Structure 1
Amino acid sequence: MMGATRSEESMCEITLGVEPRVITVRVPITIPSSACHDELAHRLVYHHNIPIYLHNELSEKLQAFIQDKTEEYYRQQDHRAVQNLRDGTLNIDDVATAWANKYSQVSKRQEDKGCENEMLASMYHSLVHSPAAVNLLSLEHSFAGAMSSLVAQREYALKEISERQTKEMSNTVSKVGVNLTDDDVNNLAACHLEDSQLMEVQWDSTISVLRENQKWEFKNFVLESFAGREVTTPVTPKFCSCVQ
């Protein structure tokens, strides 16, 4: 017998700035939860204007909360199940049947996914040894070139912002005691960290989108080519720099 899920409230305390300042994030999470703690952290960061450099800390605390509460939830479920068995209110045959059905469903999904991957690999192998190999290899080459170009743009952008921030910090430090203070240095360091991490997140997201698009286009190209349809080689979309 499965108990009802319950809603919990995750309290994440994060200190910002030079002087301790606490931001309390409250988010109800249904336990057991199928939500990805990293995606949930992303949504909270953007929806509540939380500094991007606090994303990792928020994600880790959400993960710990979900894990702890899920373990507690199932411990209680186990305790109730054992108690019901002792009381005779739970039919062991019904439990066995329910678990058998669940296992069959999971096994079927895994089997279907494995068959699909195996079929795609077989199609690819056949196309490599067919006249379609030229278009297939050309597509792979264009995809690799597009990804390499985007990664190079990312590295250049990160290097550029790092060099700019280094100059700004050196200039600020040199003026401490003249018209600036240590607080100015600390505030600038916090801004630099937020800007650089925001840029990294933007670039990682752009690269991830390109990778998923390429996977979809490649799979579609293989399937349609194998089916004997006339397929034009898809053109990988060009991505502009995330940061001006």
Structure 2
Amino acid sequence: MQTKMTGEVVEHTTKTFKFSYPTCTNEDVFFHLEVPVQIPGARSGGRELVQRAMAMFHVPVYLEDELNEKLAQFIAEESKKFHDERDAQLLAALRGGEGGGNLEGGAEGAVKRWERRFKEHVREYAEQKDTSDEEVFAAMYHKLVHSPALETVLRAEAGYAAEVRAATAARDADVKQLTQRQTEEMEEALRNLNVTTTEEQINALAVRQFEEQALAAARWGSQLDALAHAQRAQHRAQLARALRQQAPPPSSPLSPLPAPARGGGGSKAAADMEESFTIHLGSQLKQTHNIRIVAMDVEDMFDTSGDSSWDGPRLQTALALYSGELSGAVVLCAAGGAAPPSPPAALLHAARAAPDHHFPPLDEQLRTVAERAAEPIEKRNAARHERSVAEAAGGGAPGAGGGAPGAGGGAPRARRGPATGDVFVTRHSNLPDAHVVFHLVINDDARESGEMTSRHPAILGLRSVLQGASNNDVTSLALPLLLRHELTEEMTAAWIVRRAELVLKCAKGFMLEAAGGGGAQLRTLTLRAPRGLAPPVFAALRALLPAVFRISTPLKIKPRE
């Protein structure tokens, strides 16, 4: 047998070593020993193989020296023969592509392969790749936001966001006016049905109105895309010029803008129910984390109304954008159907309200996720279908794995989208307190008041989130404490406490697991409870943290009297 590994030219073959020796009682009777030996052999000459052969076949001890000598001679001869044959094949292939070797294309092909391998594995010979525009822009932005030009950069971004909000407001007003006019036209036509209008005319009117809506949507979409591209190019050019001059040019958007009037929006945040704790995880090597529990809706988390360039969340987002201390947030998406799950409306509104000059728009990222996830989802669905068919054919529980119509080669399953526990990630630079958003897919059952165990797919999806955060430098993470974004009538106080306790205990275990695997340390964990909780319920949730985690408390010592 001969094995070849092309690319690294690591080859070996197996030869049979034969050794005969007479028995102790009759010298005319021989024992014949046959042992497979890998060629080329070890430098030691096969002494280890000799010891194993003697122990396995009960070879007398006095034959050890002779067996070592003959095995070493056999390995040396066969190795020399192997190398001679291999080199002859390689030389023949190098001269003219003949000889049946593992090289093809003659000398020219061999040279190209060796050149490619050197470029792939030896940095000194690798091709020098130019720095991409994205890397240059990232370096410029990181240097400017950590310089005295920080405030002017943020104010320029606030100006761009104001332009986008104005264009979006104009689009909404135009669409609203068009919809109102079309509604009045349709109501008038329906009132005059069989009087001055016919059903054919009403159908034609509906078709025309649909075309007008589509044309308006396309027109405004094109205008917003053009505005985004123009702002991105202008922003990058202004940053490059400011970096060269080390001061904002007087006529550029980086010039200081007048401060907008501060509104009274601070009272809303001040009225939130919030509590912070410092906890320790680990038995020997303790790690310190900050845990914050707050009553906050997803709309409050991504609220950008009244946001100014110097507000704390926006400032923190800019400073940590290209660093190893990223901020993340977990949002819930509904599962079911073939269509990809849609993020919460508050996230979509916040992502579209300001331009993102560093990453693709959210809609484009979602399309990319749907395209890349289509093939793995189809493979998973096919595997589930085959498993359900096999279970049905073998007398398994009917309908297992979602059911299999026509078991035993029945029709394929209908295409399904992401399932509960799946997680996909989007990147942002225009959101407050979030560079990375983890979209956790969860079905309607988990949203209801039914019980959930630690092996539920949604809980395992939360484990994937914490592992992904640890592996990608996310040191601050906000997640929904109840795996719900809103309160409903069936969510009793007892149910809320049970669900929160389950999530806290599982999160603790996942944090320990992620810390043991290396990566970034999760320093701050924000637990979002839905707004509207009664103060006693929030107090019960707050009391869970010392029960689940080890809280750092100061030691009070009374002075001696």
Greater share of residues in strand: 2
TM-score, normalised to structure 1, is 0.50
TM-score, normalised to structure 2, is 0.23
Relative contact order (C-alpha < 8 Å, sep 6+): which is higher?
A: 1
Which structure's CA Rg is the greater one?
A: 2
